[in-house]
Amino acid sequence: MKTPQNRQKKVAAVFGATGLVGKELVKILLEESDYSKVKLITRRLLPAISPKAENILLGDFSQLPTIESKIGADVYFICIGTTIKKAGTKENFRKTDYELPVNIAKMAQKLNVGQMVVISSIGANIKSSNFYLHTKGEMEQGVAKEYTGVLNFIRPSLLLGNREEHRAGEHIASVIMRSLGWMMVGPLKQYRGVEAAEVARQMVEFTK
């Protein structure tokens, strides 16, 4: 039986490393002694932040197979998500929030990645009439169909934190949630806003 002192250290791959949760997740993983390397799959080159970090560039995520030889890992963290407003169309939103996570799941299965932790959304349900929640439900179903390893979904409500991009609607909602979230008790407690750093910590806890 392996002890904490001699157990093998893990390699993580983070998809969506520059996003609100992804950035917090990377910080935690780089400090975690359980991980010897953290692969950051990004569209743009990132500043060197740690000897443990390996930045793997992928300009177009539809070309995922081209970096197959570089993204072997013990754990895949998927922190990918957009908004319909940013995506421009429902079709583009679906490509990011459904097709991309499912394609990553296929790659994880092919490369025998032991575990995946995926950000979804509270209320995700394939039976929902809400397009966003329906798509998230489809994503969960699609990922689970393609990947047979240890799989965890985390379903946060409104994410709180400092984004690089400005989303006016989410900013207003964040201010309100920080001010009045304490009033949401009982069944409504699950809909309180949650700090991105807390979501990142929960993702790492799944892999302990």
Task: Please give the chain's pLDDT, 208 residues, in tens.
Answer: 344 555 689 999 999 999 999 999 999 999 999 999 999 999 999 999 999 999 999 988 889 999 999 999 999 999 999 988 889 999 999 999 999 999 999 999 999 999 999 999 999 999 999 999 999 999 999 999 999 999 999 999 877 856 455 444 444 434 333 444 334 334 434 445 688 999 999 999 999 9
What is d(CA 175, CA 141) in angstroms, rounded to the nearest whole number? 33
Question: 3, 28 in Cβ contact below 8 A?
Answer: no
Candidate list 136, 189, 191, 208, residue with the active-site label: 136
Active site residue 127: no
Q: Which residues of 171-184 are buried (b: 16+ CB within 10 A; e: fewer)?
A: eeebeebeeebeee
Active site residue 37: no
Backbone angles phi, psi at 42, to 5 degrees: -135, 165
Instruction: Give the CA angle between residues 135, 141, 144 to the nearest 5°.
Output: 140
Domains in the chain with CATH codes: 10-205 (3.40.50.720)
Candidate list 27, 95, 106, 132, residue with the active-site label: 132
What is d(CA 24, CA 96) in angstroms, rounded to the nearest whole number? 21
Q: pTM score, two decimals?
A: 0.84
What is d(CA 172, CA 119) in angstroms, rounded to the nearest whole number? 22
